[in-house]
Copies of this chain bind each other. A is one copy, B any other.
Amino acid sequence: MNQSTEDTVTVSVGLGERAYDILIGAGLLARAGAEIAARLPGARAAVVTDENVAALHLRPLQEGLGAAGIGSTAITLPPGERSKSFGALEETVDGILGARLERRDFVIALGGGVVGDLAGFAAGIVRRGMNFVQVPTSLLAQVDSSVGGKTGINTGHGKNLIGVFHQPRLVLADTAALGTLPEREFRAGYAEVAKYGLIDRPDFFAWLENNWRDVFSGGTACTEAIARSCRAKAEIVERDERESGERALLNLGHTFGHALEAATGYDSARLVHGEGVAIGMVLAHRFSARVNLASPDDADRVEAHLRAVGLPTRLEHIPGALPDAEALLSYIAQDKKVSRGALTFILTHGIGRSFIAEDVPASEVLAFLRECQTQ
């Protein structure tokens, strides 16, 4: 929250020659053309989006771009995690090249994390790197995926295993766009907001416990929660841009979460990413308590808060049958946070005191998962 103009808050990501601003506030979508033209004069754009978001927000964006003299082409993909695929990547790249964009032109991601990850990857590889602007429209994308430059797609071997680091030149988080976001998606994004408190900001977690209703109703508390989240992520990314260490903390809840997403076949009717993270964070706290790293009271407090906002917190909250503990463990071992066969997890000493635990014995995890499933 470095500066604030009217209701727009700016968070700066300090990455040297790759530094950029995140603007957060209502109405940024329509102003995107002006903000971009000020930074990338004379450039043209390809807007990558999904069908849901296109129907709601593509026109105001393209009109604003046009008013600022920026010609644009839209590339619209089916919504959902399945668009993070080689096929969709090829389609996106082809659309960008077909629009004859050059390296100084730019790619805009208009949508949630799926569109952001896919479009960012495409921007990172077309002509070995084009300018990229994030216009995140889901809460998850505004607080997490649009910040930090991780891009990628999924393969049969697991989530986000293929991609590049490619920082955006600008992030425009229009809080008004969240007005059309389904409640369930807003809640899922909220799991990542809470994550920052649980990683290393206990005060922020306490603030959320007291103010979550205001965050959910939009307005200044919502803008504040987004800005505090972006700042939390930016600080970690500034210290470890390419995840050689500390950045892995952002995966709190994600090792379990990704395994659950894989186990439910990335079927958003059953589980969306943030819901997997919510369950995963509770499991990470429970597991930490089980191996005597943290007090079970902390796990209870995390679960109570996530449950209060309406998030799932246990395996049994996922509709439909789950594979058994052995199968869940094999999804975990497949995940990228595996090193030399030993399991790496983000565990915790308590709320706001998470850490990277290497060499977590698979047998302990298996026993724990068995307990979770028979509760």
Contacts and interface: CB of A to CB of B under 8 A. Distances in A.
Given A102-B339, A102-B340, A338-B102, A124 B156 contact: no
A159 to B, nearest CB: 12
B97 A157 contact: yes
A168 interface: no
Contact of A94 (B103, B104, B150, B155): B155
A336 interface: yes
Interface in A161-190: 161-165
B161 A126 contact: yes
A39 interface: no
Given A90-B86, A102-B338, A164-B164, A97 B129 contact: no
A297 to B, nearest CB: 36
Contact of A162 (B102, B126, B163): B126
A320 interface: no
A319 interface: no
A346 B312 CA distance: 60
Contacts of A97: 155, 157-158, 161
Contacts of A89: 86
A127 interface: yes
Contacts of A25: none
Contact of A336 (B86, B127, B155, B165): B127
Contacts of A86: 86, 89-90
Interface residues of A, number: 33
A170 to B, nearest CB: 20
Given A102-B338, A157-B98, A338-B102, A93 B162 contact: yes
A346 to B, nearest CB: 17
A48 to B, nearest CB: 15
A113 interface: no
Interface in A125-163: 125-129, 150, 152, 155-158, 161-163
Given A94-B155, A97-B155, A102-B339, A161 B124 contact: no
A41 to B, nearest CB: 13
Contact of A157 (B94, B128, B162): B94
Nearest to A338: B102
A90 B155 CA distance: 9
A185 to B, nearest CB: 26
Contact of A125 (B150, B164, B242, B338): B164
A352 to B, nearest CB: 28
A295 B304 CA distance: 82
Interface string A76-115: 0000000000100110011001100011100000000000
A86 B163 CA distance: 14
Given A97-B161, A98-B157, 13 more contacts: A86-B86, A93-B155, A97-B155, A97-B157, A102-B338, A104-B339, A124-B164, A125-B125, A125-B162, A127-B161, A128-B163, A128-B243, A129-B242
18 contacts: A93-B162, A94-B156, A94-B157, A97-B157, A97-B158, A97-B161, A102-B339, A102-B340, A124-B164, A125-B125, A125-B162, A125-B163, A127-B161, A127-B336, A128-B163, A128-B164, A129-B165, A164-B164
Interface of A: 86, 89-90, 93-94, 97-98, 102-104, 124-129, 150, 152, 155-158, 161-165, 242-243, 336, 338-340
